[in-house]
Amino acid sequence: MVSGLCAARDPLLLLVPLLSYLVCRPEVKESPEIVEWSAKELAAMGPPSRSEWIMAALVLLAMFFWICGSNPNISLPLLGSNFINATMVVFVVISLMLVTGVIVFDDIVSEKSAWEVFFYFTSLLTLSSGLNEIGFIKWVAEGYAKPLAGLSPTMGMILLVSFFFWIHYFFSSITSHTAAVLPVVLAVGTSIPGLSVSTLMLLCVYSLGLMGVISPYATGPAPMYFGSGYIGKRDFWKFGLIFGVIYFAGLILIVLPWLQLIG
């Protein structure tokens, strides 16, 4: 399994930065004056203020609980081995920021881009969950997959993986996507004579780490990148499609032959 990941990872590590530069060329390529400017700005700011020290401590506190608190096997001081939800950590840190005066409530309300991401993501998450609960996703998967039973093993595998990858446009969660679609894809794969179900499963599992690039809601971190505003809405969808095609091509043209080679 690790060898399959490396087979796709290593070429993409070389290819993606170059393609990123070609597809989304930076407007500013050199800025030697930035070093001098930043040094002057830091000097003008002076030493860290009380609020900045508190903020740094709260960031470290959040990181500590995100790393240790999410593992129920790790015993935390005063808390024992209780599991700490990552969302609760965020609320606790924000509350401490308000109590210590690092921020005021108006600062939270004024973050329009953050609220946009919040409503954008939650609405899509609810929509995808609803489609899954009423059986729509399963119905689409079965309708697409069943006619593939009469195809050759290689073509059937490519089409099944293609369906599994690109249907992620209907999901805002990798977990719900896997739970809803993977059993159907594997079930159809078993009905195609000569198709290696283990290879099909590995390709689908590998694709879970690649499909998060295709849309602004594909994974949990995606709305954060989208909401930062550095990439416009149209460009985000365009680049998502471009790199989605590149990643999928790497999956089919590199990983599939490698898995078939090693058996």
pLDDT tens for each residue of 191-245: 788 888 889 999 999 898 888 888 887 787 777 777 777 777 788 888 889 989 9
User: Residue 165 has what pLDDT?
Assistant: 93
Inside any domain, residue 139: yes
* 13-27, 67-81, 85-99, 156-170: segment of lowest average pLDDT: 67-81
Inside any domain, residue 31: no
Structural domains of the chain, count: 2
pTM for the model: 0.67
State which of 84, 110, 136 marks the end of a domain. 110
| 141, 257: one domain | yes
Inside any domain, residue 125: yes
To which H or E segment does residue 36 belong? helix 33-45
Inside any domain, residue 53: yes
| 254, 205: one domain | yes
Mean pLDDT of 163-167: 90
User: Which structural domain, as residue segments, surrounds residue 73?
Assistant: 43-110
User: Residue 76 has what pLDDT?
Assistant: 57
Inside any domain, residue 132: yes
Inside any domain, residue 225: yes
| pLDDT tens digits for range 60-73 | 998 888 877 666 56
User: Residue 137 has what pLDDT?
Assistant: 67
| 88, 120: one domain | no
The answer to whether 170 and 216 have CB atoms below 8 angstroms apart is no
Please give the Cα distance from 226 to 97 (Å, whole number): 25
Nearest one of 116, 141, 118 to 131, comparing CA atoms: 141
User: Residue 128 has what pLDDT?
Assistant: 66
DSSP for 57-124? Answer: HHHHHHHHHHHHTT-TTSPBTTTBT----HHHHHHHHHHHHHHTTSS-HHHHHT-HHHHHHHHHHHHH
| pLDDT tens digits for range 218-227 | 787 777 777 7
| 89, 169: one domain | no
Q: Mutual orientation of helices 136-145 and 153-166 as an angle, nearest 10°? A: 160
Summary mean pLDDT of the chain: 79
Nearest one of 93, 248, 67, 249 to 166, comparing CA atoms: 248
